Chains A and B, each alone.
Chain A
Amino acid sequence: MADTPPAKQPAPSETAGAPRPSWGDSPQQLDDWLRIEPDGTVVVFSGKVELGTGVRTALAQIVAEELDVSLARIRMVMGETEHTPDEGYTAGSKTIETSGMTLRRAAATARQALLEMAASELDVTPDELTVQDGAIILPGGEHTAGRRVTFAGLLAGGRFERTISDTAPLKRPEQFQIIGTAAPRLDLPAKFTGQPAFVHDLRLPGMLHARVIRPQRLGASLVSLDANALIEASVIRIGDFVAVVAAREEAAIRAARALHLTWSDDADSPDLPPMKALHDWLRHQPTTDRIVVASGDADAALQHATTQVSATYTMPFQAHASIGPSCAVATFDGEMLTVWSSTQGVYPLRAALASLLQMPEDRLRVNHLEGAGGYGQNGADDVAADAALLARELRQPVRVQWSRADEFAGEPKTSAMIMALRGGLDGHGAVSGWTFDGWTPSHANRPRQAGDFIAGRFVGVPAPQPRGFFLGGDRNAPTDYSFVDQRVLIHWLASVPLRSSSMRSLGAFANCFANESFVDELALAAGVDPLEFRLRYLADPRARAVVETAARRAGWGEPLPAGVGRGMAFARYENTEAYVATVAQVAVDTASGAVRVSSIVVAHDCGQIINPDGVRNQVEGNVIQSLSRALKEEVRFSTKSIISLDWESYPILTFSEVPEIEIELLDHPELPPVGAGEPATVTTAPAVANAIFAACGARVRTIPFTPGRVRAALEATPA
């Protein structure tokens, strides 16, 4: 969910040539963001979208706070190309930080404008006035006509006609009444009572149901098609893009099964490498090498070190694995084509669809409706392309629902990676040299043109060229420790065997796993407790605070029974954002290699907290999802195609496997907020790996930590 370019500290790798998508040159007209209806409702237009993380509520809280209205008066309009500003993607947990700030200023500007209008209407100066839930009042004037005017009355249906001001006074943290409170999520009542809530729930009059049929291999071409067996469904074919369409959904499903298709064997994509040899294969591909960090002289320091340690860690392909497979609805009236999609960016999707459909953007409308939690680029954009193509062909509303297998096969995966580390210690156990070599592709491949969609490939648009810029694979490759001599080098892969794109925290999941496991390996070699070892190299008080808090809450150092261990990990997300420290406690059954995680403690500092319950919810979600990724998840493939196409072959964490989770939020109301949607994803895997080591001496360097891998690591451990 994170391929907006980082705002701070551009690493050298990001200067690489070609231009980068520049979404989000947002209009700064106040009326584009905020409108007040005659009944006093405040309509907020946000180009961001709700991804199931509660941003709708958090943004509403921000506006309610600065405008001095109750939350109940706010109506959020989000992600509609016709109505909302272009704010690019909702990604990278940056929504509150960036979009939230724009809305905060918009609301403050509106409040100031309204105060000025009220002052002239009541013939007083603005500082004599107070604002109360959408009304402006003279002292003692709560119920007195002539001493009280409402926002709606002042505007009388008119517009503000001003630009968002950078100087309109913002509230100070101690004045907050809504920000910082655990406001209940606005979207949940519908979801808990069976009201329409998802794109899946949209029904248009005369809407047809479609299923798209594709070969196992991207790039295979259609040899023959026999639709004779179809009764209640018809086939739509556009080039090699094939779909079945029916009035009833189950008829479309049956037709998809009944249709006889032959695809060519000679796909334009080569065979996949054997799954077992994946990382070897990756390591032998051509790369573009970029140094991310070079300080001191890492090689010389390593050479002078009295002890040298090295280790290589690997990350598999993993799936977003949304619980609801992607779905989209589209309709075309001959003039306008409208698509409802759970995309993370309505404007970028519109631009890419324009390229696919060869239609001007002003004849396309993209409206966001929620999907199941996606955590990055799942099938949402691709299914929108499927629906758009079919709607144009059918001139009738059409709903495309991907099957579970379509989703697992079609959604772009987060890429496999390799991280090779070396570290040295001097005679006193101090770090003398640290190097990190990472093999990764760019993690940003969201659709920008026709060939980026799966459908594009089948209607005959060639596969896109590599983009020429690299993003995300280096995230958190640098540590936050003050090692004097270090080098972080990324070997960027032009392509990888499976279609890949953004998933929660991008490369940081794998990079932190490697870094924080290796810190423990070095601490072991130095004979120093991992907590103590980390603190030696952390000067930043906020970093120390999360590490110390997590350790204290987890009872770090207290004795544990045999076979049980504690492990910790720390990171500052993206090296510039939230601070997070995690301590995991695990029990390992050494006979089977099974790992049972009994508890996870997280200390989390994301600056100012807008909605503490929302942040907690995000952190809990991060912990459980990343634990699932650490313990269980790996996309399986043959040399022809992905073969993990259901929940049995791609299992995720179940209730029985969920540990006790304790979270401590360190609030800093005096600091700006930074995202909480991703940080706590990156420290779980290394904390668990370190705990497994503490429990039984097995060092697992490959995700996921399956029983087989733990057993193998145990066997490799010198007795």
Chain B
Amino acid sequence: MTITITVDGKRHEVTASPDTPLLYVLRNDLGLNAPLFGCGLEQCGACKVLRGAEAVMTCMLPVGDVDGASITTLAGLVEDGELHPVQQAFLDEQAAQCGYCSNGMIITIAALLWRTPHPTNEQIRDALDGNLCRCGSHGRILRAVRRAETLMWGDENG
């Protein structure tokens, strides 16, 4: 079956069985490197993308269900060569070790800061709890959230 999806601003028609998880269409048909495969069980968050403005896991999401949807991946957060504030914050904080979880983290935080411009610590932790990191980069990632918040919305007090 042919499915039409808009990914990172470009329309694509892909031929795949509709129960194919979106992850494999993005990685193999469109050649994208993020999302990444982590578990295929919706347990780790490595495979997240933005569907509209919402962070969703793609490893079990049938591509047939997103026919016509607009998807943004990590690469699509870069606009005209300029990094998204969350990406910039991750660089500034050097918020990774192996970086395998970074995709899911950045996508989740981008969605969070869009929905909740000034989240509480608890809201941040809640939003990120579905994203696993083996390397223990959590502290840096939390700092990156605060830095991104400032980059996006300015200093709350200033």
Q: Which residues of A are at the interface with B, using a C-beta cutoff of 8 A?
A: 51-54, 184-185, 187-189, 191-198, 200-201, 203, 209, 248-250, 253, 320-325, 370-373, 375, 401, 403-404, 613, 617-618, 620-625, 628, 646-648, 652-656, 658, 661
Contact = CB atoms under 8 A, between A and B. Distances in A.
B97 interface: yes
A617 B97 contact: yes
A403 B40 contact: yes
Contact of B43 (A188, A622, A648, A658): A648
A50 B33 CA distance: 19
Chain B interface residue bracket vs A: 35 or more
Given A248-B28, A373-B100, 7 more contacts: A193-B74, A194-B73, A200-B36, A209-B28, A321-B134, A373-B98, A655-B128
A624 B24 CA distance: 31
A194 B107 CA distance: 11
Interface in B60-76: 73-76
Interface in B75-126: 75-78, 83, 87, 90-91, 94, 96-103, 106, 124-126
A423 to B, nearest CB: 33
B51 interface: no
Contact of B98 (A52, A184, A189, A192): A52
Contact of B135 (A52, A253, A646, A658): A52
A2 B124 CA distance: 35
Contacts of A323: 38, 44, 46, 98, 100-101, 132-134
Contacts, number: 172
A54 B97 contact: yes
B33 A197 contact: yes
B32 interface: yes
Interface string B115-158: 00000000011101101111111111110000000000000000
Nearest to A54: B97
Contacts of A653: 136, 138
Given A188-B99, A198-B36, A372-B100, A655 B138 contact: yes
Q: Which of A193, A248, A647: most chain B Cβ within 10 A?
A: A193
B34 interface: yes
B2 interface: no
Q: Which of B39, B91, B101: most chain A Cβ within 10 A?
A: B39
B74 A192 contact: yes
Contacts of A253: 40
B143 to A, nearest CB: 11
Nearest to B42: A647
Q: Is the interface of A mostly helix, strand, loop or mixed?
A: loop
Contact of A621 (B17, B39, B136): B136
Given A248-B24, A652-B134, A655-B138, A184 B38 contact: no
A621 B101 CA distance: 14
A5 to B, nearest CB: 26
Given A248-B28, A324-B46, A373-B98, A625 B136 contact: yes
Given A404-B41, A655-B129, A373 B97 contact: yes
A203 B139 contact: no
Which 8 A-B residue pairs are closest in the complex by CB-CB distance? Answer: A52-B98, A624-B136, A191-B99, A194-B75, A373-B98, A372-B100, A621-B136, A194-B74
Given A52-B97, A250-B20, A373-B98, A656 B37 contact: no
B34 to A, nearest CB: 4
Contacts of B16: 248, 250
B126 A656 contact: yes
Contact of B37 (A325, A375, A623, A624): A325
B36 A324 contact: yes
B98 A51 contact: yes
Contact of A625 (B39, B99, B134, B142): B134
7 contacts: A192-B87, A192-B96, A194-B34, A320-B134, A372-B98, A617-B140, A655-B131
Contacts of B140: 617, 620
Q: Which of A191, A325, A617, A647: most chain B Cβ within 10 A?
A: A191
Contacts of B34: 194
Contacts of B27: 249
Interface string B49-66: 000000000000000000
Nearest to A402: B37
Given A250-B20, A323-B101, A647 B74 contact: no
A621 B135 contact: yes
A132 B103 CA distance: 38
B99 A322 contact: no
A647 B100 contact: no
Nearest to A207: B28
Nearest to B63: A250
A403 B41 CA distance: 10
Contacts of B125: 655-656
A194 B32 contact: yes
